[in-house]
Structure 1
Amino acid sequence: MKAPETDEAFVQWYEDCWADRDEVEYPKLFGNISEEVYTLDQTGALEAWMDSDEPSAAKELDPNWGPMGVRVAPPTPEYPYWTYVTSGLSNPFTLAPGEEVQEGAPSGLGYEMVIHTPEEERWPVLRLVDMMAYNLVCARLFAVGHRYPVEGTLTGGDSKLSGFVFVTDPSRPAHFQLESGRVQLLTLVGVTKNEMAFSRSNGIDRLMAKLVAAGTGYITHPGREQVPL
């Protein structure tokens, strides 16, 4: 299929794809998700990455980026933990009016990022907003199997977790489909420095098996101890 050819029709189609993800797919995946969105244009994350030393950093802000952000889903009986999910990386901002949407092609960057925590927290929102800005400004994309260390700790406070590994959560579909293309769900799991090193040497699957055996699994517990390696 093709994206609509006129600017007006394209804008409506773009917004319809966005609404289909946030108002149809997300409630199916995450339950009663909050209507509030913590948007990029409410922070300085985009500008911070533009002013960074990253050689690939964009020189100008794309107006499509600002309304993107993070949404929050409270616990449900099926999923008794908090979920934070990005909203916007899979918007079809990479397409132009009249452009062909190839079968199996990604929508936008092709994914959205997810963090689960046992309690409601502020730090996952801040981390996801910053990582979205990194993706967009620096044109650096993530994928299953990637690792992402941070400066200090994930929470910015007293935690032994200092980075993420990117995995597929077996409790949910690995992807969903929009009219604008395919969207993968990347689940970010917080890990310690030594756990990340273990995953480099032994594979992320082996690390996740140890986290599952320890009872934390795909949920990030910022106060936990390092698992036996």
Structure 2
Amino acid sequence: MKAPETEEDFVQWYEDCWADRDEVEYPKLFGAISDDVYTLEQTGALQAWLETDLAQVQELDPNWDPMGVRVAPPSEKFPYWSYVTSGLSNPFTVAPGAEVAPDAPSGIGYEMVIHTPEEAQWPVLRLLDMMAYNLVCLRAFAMGHRYPVEGSLTGGESKLNGFVFVKDPSRAAEFTLPSGKVQLLTLVGVTKNEMAFSRSNGADKLMAKLVQAGTGYITHPEREEVKL
């Protein structure tokens, strides 16, 4: 596969890949998606990471600004809220006319999703911050990873202070765009002890306990720690 060579054709191809994900693949994965997009441009997340010792870039790429988070409200099939990133799989890593291997990832190769029982702002803010971390610090996530945060996930009284990255069995774990393959990483909120259990025993065993407890792949900020 080869990316279009002229600037005009490349821009159109880039936008078509974006639209294919948001307007075709996402509705298949999540149902109806809100038209609203919470973008990185609306936050200071990119600049904040740029000013840390972890930053691996010297300046911000303008292609990152319109990337953001989309929201899918509850539906009959999925009776909970879903927040999914939109942009990490954009082909911003490809230059016009470049050869792209058939099995290559699109962009950095994944998008992230958080499910919650109620509508909330914290998943949007967390995902935007983690997107900025990926882009500015050049550190990618993968299935099975763990990510602790300062304080709680919500910024409030929740006992959850980190995520595990898992495959949600209720939907496809990946899809393909004209620009390459995209993996869907589901982030499940966990406590410090649950994260340690996942590190020692594997995410599958932790998820089995969360499923047994009734929360499963949906993050319930108010829940108690599961029995480990």
What TM-score range do you get, normalising by the shorter chain? over 0.9
Q: Distance in 2 between matches of 1:52 and 1:203?
A: 31
Paired residue type of 1:42: Q
1:1-229 equivalence runs, <5 A = 1-54=1-54, 56-229=55-228
Structure 1: gaps spanning 5 or more residues: none
Q: Distance in 2 between matches of 1:14 and 1:161?
A: 37
1:133-192 deviation line (CA, Å, top 9, x unaligned)? 000000000000000000000000010000000001000001000000000000000000
Paired residue type of 1:170: P
SS in 2 for 1:97: coil
Give the superposition deviation at 1:100: 1.0
Paired residue type of 1:85: V
% identical equivalent positions: 79
Q: Is the 8 A contact 1:49 1:57 kept in 2?
A: no
Q: Distance in 1 between matches of 2:185 and 2:204?
A: 15
Q: Distance in 2 between matches of 1:52 and 1:41?
A: 18
TM-score by length of 2: 0.99
Q: Is the 8 A contact 1:166 1:186 kept in 2?
A: yes
Give the superposition deviation at 1:57: 2.8
How many residue pairs are counted as aligned between the two chains?
228
Q: Distance in 2 between matches of 1:142 and 1:199?
A: 16
SS in 1 for 2:64: coil
1:47-94 deviation line (CA, Å, top 9, x unaligned)? 00000121x431101010000000000001010000000000000000
Q: Distance in 2 between matches of 1:5 and 1:75?
A: 42
Structure 2: gaps spanning 5 or more residues: none
Paired residue type of 1:81: Y
Question: What is the CA RMSD across the aligned residues, in angstroms?
Answer: 0.6
Give the superposition deviation at 1:202: 1.0
Q: Distance in 2 between matches of 1:36 and 1:199?
A: 35
Q: Distance in 1 between matches of 2:13 and 2:197?
A: 45
Q: Is the 8 A contact 1:33 1:74 kept in 2?
A: yes
SS in 2 for 1:224: coil
SS in 2 for 1:183: strand
Paired residue type of 1:177: T
TM-score by length of 1: 0.99
